[in-house]
Amino acid sequence: MTGPNPATSFPLGGIKTLCFLNNVVNLKNVSIGDYTYYDDFENVQNFARNIRYHFEFTGDRLVIGKFCQIASGVEFIMNGGNHLTSGISTFPFSIFGSGWERAMEGKSFPIKGDTIVGNDVWIGYKALIMPGVRIGDGAIIATASIVTKDVPPYAIVGGNPARVLKMRFTDDDIRRLLKLRWWDWSAEKITRNVDLLSSASIEALERCD
């Protein structure tokens, strides 16, 4: 046994509201790791619709790691939604043309960089991730949170704006887990040790083969 096939779109068989995302979403500048799943109350295609303001000309990427768990209604706001805030008006005159193009001469819209979600991240129902945010491995994003800044590995964040509520492990244990990088193990090794991955014993995980 080597676990579910990562190339399967719907790993629960007849249930079509949960998918392994990288087999369902095929968008330019969006990268999703193996086994990351999305669970939607209506249609898994909603995930692609919930990547907002992701215009090709901005060039920003959404990168999601392996083994992430993404709940229904999660949204990502990308850099295409940014407006110029240093001027008197925030109105995007230039996009309408007809003589307004010169509004952006010598200027550029703010770009906050790629949005990066690490591995084994749980993002709760209707959470909103803002542009350029980096979410560390093993983090948990609480329901309806609005994430406006980077999230440390193995942190639990919640609220609007989201803040760290607690850390899942001690600093030393987090260092050990980040060194283990279990999500990069072979499917065979994960399958052999799946009971340990759902236990609280980091020491046992470090000893496993």
163 has a pLDDT exceeding 80: yes
158 within domain boundaries: yes
pLDDT at 176: 97
The three-state secondary structure class of 48 is helix
Which of 8, 16, 45, 83 is flagged as catalytic?
A: 83
| pLDDT surpassing 80 at residue 203 | yes
Domain annotation covers residue 104: no
**pTM more than 0.85:** yes
> Residue 1 has what pLDDT?
73
Is 143 within the bounds of a domain? yes
Say whether 83 is catalytic: yes
Contact assessment for residue 62 and residue 88, using Cβ atoms and an 8 Å cutoff: no
Please compute Rg for the chain using Cα positions: 19
The length of the chain, given as a count of residues: 209
Number of domains, the chain: 2
Residues β-bridged to residue 70: 38, 123
Q: List Cα–Cα distances, 194 to 21, 106, 186, in angstroms.
A: 21, 55, 12
Residue 180 half-sphere exposure toward CB, CA atoms < 13 A:
25
The per-residue pLDDT for range 38-81, each reduced to its tens digit, is 999 999 999 999 999 999 888 999 999 999 999 999 999 999 99
Q: Domain for residue 105, yes or no?
A: no
182, 198 contact by CB (below 8 A): no
Residue 154 CA to chain centroid, in angstroms? 14
pLDDT tens readout for residues 77-102: 999 999 999 889 999 999 899 999 99
Tens-place pLDDT, residues 103-153: 989 888 889 999 999 999 999 999 999 999 999 999 999 999 999 999 999
pLDDT at res. 209? 87
198 plus 155 within the same structural domain:
no
Question: What span, in angstroms and rounded, lies between the C-alpha atoms of 161 and 80?
Answer: 21
Within a domain: 141 = yes
Determine, yes or no, domain membership for 39.
yes
Whether residue 129 sits in one domain with residue 61: yes
Share of the chain above pLDDT 90, in %: 88
Predicted pLDDT of residue 57: 85
Would you say residue 174 lies in a domain? yes
Is 107 inside any structural domain? no
What domain range is 156 assigned to? 18-79+113-167
d(CA 129, CA 75): 6
